[in-house]
Amino acid sequence: MGKKKNKNKVSGAVKTAAKTEKKLANKLKKELANLGEEDIAKVIAEIEREEAKRSQPTEKTLPGPPTARAYASLTPHPTNNELIMFGGEYHDGQKTIVYNELLFFNPEKGTWRQVKAPGAPPPRSAHQAVATPANKGELWIFGGEFTSPSETQFHHYKDLWCFSLADKKWEKVVAPNGPSARSGHRMALLGRKLVVFGGYADDGRDCKYFDELYSFCLDTRTWGKLTPSGRGPSARSACVMMPHGNDSLIIYGGFSRVREGRTEQTLTHTDMFRLCGKNGGFTWRAQNAGAFAPPARAGQAAAVNVHGGRGYVFGGVSDVEETEEDLRGEMSDDLQLLDLETGKFHNVTLRSEQPAQPSAQQVEESETPQETVKVVDEVFTMKLGGPSAPAPAAAAPPSPAAPRGGPCARMSAMLAVQRSVLYVYGGILERDEKQFYLSDMYCLDLHKLNEWKTLIEQPTLPAWLGSDSEDDGSGDSEESESSDDEED
């Protein structure tokens, strides 16, 4: 009788890969032991177990504002005049803290309250959140990432959570065929469907970007992968994505990395696409973002005024070439409006920044022709487009608290519109290769457009405990081995 073949025989390549994985795992265990850290999967599982033990929701009014952070979600409450903040992270150059706090801001009282509810999600940043008024109000959260304090471990989530605003209770929604684990993606509500696009995942050895489009039906609680016709946006993270009505959305910009041989290049996108739904199907259409589209800029914050058909984009960072080998990040404090009907960007100039009392004729007969558009509703009329007011000359750098009466230049801030008021919270200010996480907050009445109002001041920058050079391995969780700030 012939010799039996072993169907379970493993090839040499597989054995080698397995040995390599085992060595890496043992090396990581030793590093974690030296740092006093547990395996990140165990940490997350333990957090979920502890949160599940909570039997009743509790809430308390905070004595002051929340801590400094970036990559949190700031969501308009679907029924009340409140903002909902969840998660985010803080980094001081040495240690990273990731939050799972659920906070509610009352603009009328200027107060914050924290709600601790049964079954809360584990901490995360660079996730996405959407609120809907259905069932007396729900907050939906998908994906994101968790970083260990030493930043030696990263974990991307693929979980979906629903928080009942009426019952104050979390639910982990388990449904097959959803997106893979990721952060830096975008999520929007179209009718009764959550639409998820893009993002990235990094396991420390390989970083992958996504161009997939998924939808989650809130009625049937099922995931489906959408396959629109036409050419759509390439794989990317951290793009601007804004819904328009119940069957259309706009995607602009984003960030990705492209590997060419052994080298890797970063790419900040400036293209725009519209997803159009019709007769049960979807189509991608490329669009021209207009003469006032932002330059190649990453880390922009975006929010939609759903009642006005307008989106707002604030801040971000651009790469400026100083030499052939060195790039410098230039932060922005620009506020721009995106007309969701036309897909065109327009500059927003506040009345406090305009020249002193120009006549209507002087404005219209300016020697420099500029593309303008008038936005009119029952409350106000404003003219958009044209150059922003020139910044006054200054001998010293502006204070981080409130230059020109508003938020200083920053990236990865939280932005939201509630009842025609635009709110900005936190973000990251980069100076001298140091990254400072901010805790200030501002608001702007979009009807009056007079000036920014300071809600939370930040007179001084937080302490930076890391090295002055990013080459030493310091930086926040999206800037070290796993990823970049631009990716989220």
Helix, strand, coil in percent for the chain, rounding step 5: 10, 40, 50
pLDDT band at 324 (very low <50, low <70, confident <90, very high): low
What is the per-residue pLDDT for 323? 61
β-sheet with 160-164: strand ranges across: 128-132, 138-142, 160-164, 169-173
147-156, 350-359, 419-428, 431-440: range with highest mean pLDDT? 419-428
Residue 313 CB burial class (10 angstroms; 0-12, 13-18, ≥19): buried
What is the per-residue pLDDT for 132? 98
CATH architecture of residue range(s) 50-353+372-385+407-487: 6 Propeller (2.120)
Provide Rg for the chain, Cα atoms.
24
Least confident of 169-178, 234-243, 257-266, 341-350: 257-266
User: Does pLDDT of 312 surpass 50?
Assistant: yes
Residue spans per domain, the chain: 50-353+372-385+407-487
Alpha carbon distance 455, 441 (integer Å) = 5
Contact 158, 178 (CB under 8 A): yes
What is the per-residue pLDDT for 468? 59
Alpha carbon distance 228, 221 (integer Å) = 21
Using a pLDDT cut of 70, give the percent of the chain over it: 77
What is the per-residue pLDDT for 404? 61
Task: Give this prediction's pTM.
Answer: 0.82
pLDDT digit string, tens, across residues 31-75? 544 445 789 999 999 999 999 899 899 999 999 999 999 999 999
pLDDT digit string, tens, across residues 75-116? 999 999 999 999 999 999 999 999 999 999 999 999 999 999
pLDDT band at 364 (very low <50, low <70, confident <90, very high): very low
